[in-house]
Structure 1
Amino acid sequence: MTTLADFKATGIDGTEVDLAAYDGEVVLIVNTASQCGFTPQYQGLQKLQDDFAGQGFSVLGFPCDQFGHQEPGDEAEIQGFCERNFGVTFPLFSKIDVNGDEAHPLFRWLRSEKRGLLGSDKVKWNFTKFLVARDGRVVARYAPTTKPEKIAGDLERYLTR
């Protein structure tokens, strides 16, 4: 069985991150963009991080420029934007593709584990969210329109398991 711990990703600072570091945590993985109508969700994601980090929870942000060229900046620009405008302290990663031939293996796995609307495995837009339980399994997928605060109840449920 594949779990989150089987993947690696490049941090926004260019260092390789073994996602096994999040083994035993509840993790919310989000594809993000700085110039999207959903960009204000960074604030809600940071609030989830602040509220639940002490219980073994992390948000992981993966910038993506595949939807309307809404993440045109480089990693330094993305990180600066997130810190300056939303106080983001949760881990951000280097820009990736979430769909297509060049999709990051993590997102290929996430998409296959929890399909979207009408059974599609494609990520439809920025700020699609995947919830991973402590055992590394994908347990939920949320649409870009799902505000982070609406996920809090699910987090509480999985954090107490």
Structure 2
Amino acid sequence: MYQFKVTDIEGNEFDMANLKGKKVMIVNTASKCGFTPQYEQLEELYNEYKDKGFVIVGFPANNFLKQEPGSDEEIASFCQKNYGVSFPMMSKISVKGNDIAPLYDYLTSKRLNGFEDNSVKWNFQKYLINEEGFLEKVISPSTSPIDSEIKDWLNS
């Protein structure tokens, strides 16, 4: 995962290599989804584990029923105002299809990630990356960020 450079929600380069040695959750987000309240649990999880070498990286995406229609500025404002999001949020990307972002191509392709082929099923699918930068788990969009499966992984 460390080979990727992405753009954060303020338009700055974000080098995934800066996350070496940390456990990482990558999650595709949307502001107008039934799962949008998961921002609250994501923030709770981040605050509980950020001082223990964990970071969440959010990627807004408009791939599912156009549930993330806003600009980066509107998304940033929404996340801050409604959920107090303090974990890193990136610029809006595509997480599937012909215009899939390179990071998500990596996350969903076994030939690239060495773990498994998968597809992003909906908003708030979670990818758990170990301290060496390798994909270890794919968590369903419907699974709460504070679910024991995720906390057990963090505590392992």
* TM-score in terms of structure 1 length: 0.90
Aligned to 1:143: 140
Identical columns (%): 44
Tell me the distance in 2 between the aligned counterparts of 1:53 and 1:31.
19
SS of 1:141 mapped into structure 2: strand
Q: Per-residue deviation at 1:156?
A: 1.1
Matched residue, 1:32 = 29
Is the aligned partner of 1:87 residue 2:71?
A: no
SS of the residue aligned with 1:5?
coil
**Partner SS, residue 6 of structure 1:** coil
Q: Deviations over 1:38-97 (max 9, x none)?
A: 000001110111000001100000000010000000001100100111110000000000
State the AA in 1 paired with 2:40: Q
Which consecutive residues of structure 2, in runs of 5 or more, have no partner in the other structure?
A: none
Write the deviation string for residues 102-154 of structure 1: whole angstroms up to 9, x where unpaired. 11110111112354xxxx62211100000000000000000100100111121
Distance 1:123 1:5 in 2: 20
Unaligned runs of 5+ in 1: none
The normalised TM-score by structure 2 is 0.93
Q: Does 1:56 align with 2:32?
A: no
1:65 to 56, 62, 66: 62
Letter in 1 for 2:152: G
